[in-house]
Amino acid sequence: MFQTFFPDECAKSTYHIDFEEYYQKGYRGIIFDIDNTLVEHGTDASQASIELFKKLKSIGFKTCLLSNNKEERVKRFNQPIQSDYIFKAQKPYRRNYMKACNQMGTTVSNTLFVGDQLFTDVWGAKRCGMHNILVEPIDKKEEIQIVLKRYLEHIVLYFYRRKQNQLK
């Protein structure tokens, strides 16, 4: 039952992912959540996120921000990044994951998704058949509705890690 929500991979941080390796494997697009994936919740693009997107473009990746936030927040974050974006994405519904691929000119088979939440980010990507990477949230201080989901995520991740250890 929990396997529906298991991420394909986990990483300590977005900034620890070896994106060159994914490019070599044939991935050409990356869809990112914003809050707690690239920056703390509600903050503008950091120097690290700006540099990351420059690097991704130089590698050859197309990128898209996929956020459940309102346009003002996503647009403000995106100003120095200059990526495609979709606001009010209604994750985990599939429609906007597919729309992001269309905007980038990629397919689900050559697109990665990077996000910090299992029940929105990862589950939506999995429902599309898109490779996904769950990252640890940048900031532990979150809105109450997310805090409540994190308790459930801990249960799912317990079983995920247990399965990973059995495979070793």
Give the global pTM: 0.89
> 77 or 139: which carries more pLDDT confidence?
77
What residue ranges define each of the domains in the chain, with the CATH number in brackets?
A: 2-167 (3.40.50.1000)
What confidence tier does 147 reach under pLDDT thresholds 50, 70, 90? low
Cβ contact 133:8 at 8 Å: yes
pLDDT at 142: 65
Q: How far apart are the first and last CA of the chain?
A: 21
Task: List all residues 6 or more positions away from 134 whose beta carbon is below 8 Å from its beta carbon.
Answer: 7, 9, 10, 11, 115, 116, 118, 121, 122
What confidence tier does 63 reach under pLDDT thresholds 50, 70, 90? very high
**Helix-then-strand count for the chain, H and E:** 6, 6
pLDDT at 144: 61
pLDDT at 100: 98
